[in-house]
Amino acid sequence: MKLSTLCVAVTVGFVVLLNGCSREKIDAVNLANEGTLLKKQGAYDAAIDKYEAASQLDPANHEIMYMLATTYRKKEEWEKVASTLARATQVAPTFATYWYERGYALVQVASKSKQQSAWEEAKEPLEKCIQADPNFAHCYFELALVELFLDNEQNALDNYSKAIQHKPDEATFYAPLADLYLRLDYFDQAKGVLTEGIKFASDESKSKFNMYVLLANVSQFQGDMAGMVSALETANKIGGKDNPEILFNLGSTYAVMDPPKKSQAIQMLKKFQARACKGGKATQYKEQCEQSMALIAKLGGP
C-alpha cells in the first residue's frame, strides 16, 4: 500500500520527502514501513507496535490507521479493528472501505456477543459505506445480515438483492438470499436465485455445494423427489468428502423413495457411519448416527 501525507510520498522501503515535512511525519512513515515489513513476515504483534507508534506520531494519517486495522484483522481482534477504523473514518469519512471494514468487524463482534445492541451498532458504518460508495456490493451484503438479525426481513431481502445487482458474479451472495426466501416459503424465488448463482460458482467451491444443498431443500418442499435426489447427488460429488452430513441426507432420501433404492441407501449410510460416527464427530452427529443405523437395519443391511 502506498502511504501519502501532505509532505511525503511513500512506498515500502523508501521515503521521498517533500517541502514542509515535519520530523514527526517522517518518523511516522518510517515506522509504518517497518511495520509493513514485519507484517509480511507474519510478525503481527511487532508490526502492531510499529503502527501504533506511527499513529501516535501522526494521528491524522488515516492510511497508517488502516494498516494497523488490517493487522488486527489478521489476528481476528475484531474490537480493536473496529475501534481503530472508528478513528480512520473520523479523519477520512469519504473512504467507503474504512466504513465497510469497521462494519464487518462489528458484525464479527455481534456474532459472538449475540446481543441485539451489538447488531444495531454494526448497522451504521455499513449504511455510511453505502452513502460513500453506492456501488459497494459487500456493504449491502453485510447490511443484509445485520438487518436479518434485527428481524427486518424485508430489508434483508432488499440488501441481499442489491449486493447481487452490484456484483452478480460473486457466488457467495446467492445462498444467503435463497436461504431467506426458503425460510419465508418463497420457493420459486429461492429456486430462481440458486439456479442463477450456480452459474458463477467454481466447480469445487463451498458456495456451489451450499447452493445445491439448498436446491435440494427447495425440491423437497415442492414435492419434487427427482429434483431433490439430483441436487443431493451433485452436492455429494462437490463436497461429500468434507461434509459427511450430505451422505446421511442422500442415503436417507434413497431409503424413502418409492420404490426405495436400497443398495444405494445402504452404501451412503454406511459411508456416513464410517466418516461421522467414530471419534470426535460421533457426538456432533449423534442423532443422525442413530437414525442411519436404524435405516440400515430396516433396509436389511448388515
Weakest-pLDDT range from 1-15, 159-173, 211-225, 287-301: 1-15
| One-letter amino acid of 241 | K
pLDDT band at 20 (very low <50, low <70, confident <90, very high): low
| Cα-Cα-Cα-Cα dihedral sign, residues 253, 255, 256, 259 | positive
Kindly list the distances between the CA atom of residue 33 and the CA atoms of 10, 82, 204, in Å, as whole numbers in the listed order. Answer: 8, 22, 39
Structural Rg of the chain based on CA atoms: 25
16 vs 126: which has the higher pLDDT: 126
Prediction pTM value: 0.87
**229-247, pLDDT tens digit by residue?**
999 999 999 998 889 999 9
Task: Reply yes or no on whether the pLDDT at 101 is more than 70.
Answer: yes
**261-293, pLDDT tens digit by residue?**
999 999 999 999 999 998 888 889 999 999 999
Rounded to a whole number, what is the distance in angstroms from the first to the last CA of the chain?
A: 62
Task: Reply yes or no on whether the pLDDT at 7 is more than 70.
Answer: no
Kindly list the structural domains of the chain, giving each domain's residue range(s) and its CATH number in brackets, ordered by start: 1-75 (1.25.40.10), 92-167 (1.25.40.10), 168-242 (1.25.40), 244-302 (no CATH)
**21-71, pLDDT tens digit by residue?**
678 888 888 899 999 999 999 999 999 999 999 999 999 999 999 999 999
**Contact by Cβ (8 Å): 161, 143:** no
3 vs 218: which has the higher pLDDT: 218
**108-129, pLDDT tens digit by residue?**
999 998 788 999 999 999 999 9
What percentage of the chain has pLDDT greater than the value 70? 93
Q: Which residues contact 122 (CB under 8 A, 6 or more apart)?
A: 103, 106, 107, 109, 110, 142, 146
Any idea what DSSP says for residue 172? Answer: G
> What is the per-residue pLDDT for 271?
93
> What is the per-residue pLDDT for 19?
44
Weakest-pLDDT range from 2-11, 221-230, 251-260: 2-11
**165-205, pLDDT tens digit by residue?**
999 999 999 999 999 999 999 999 999 999 999 999 998 89
In angstroms, the CA 141 to CA 174 distance is 10
In angstroms, the CA 39 to CA 100 distance is 22
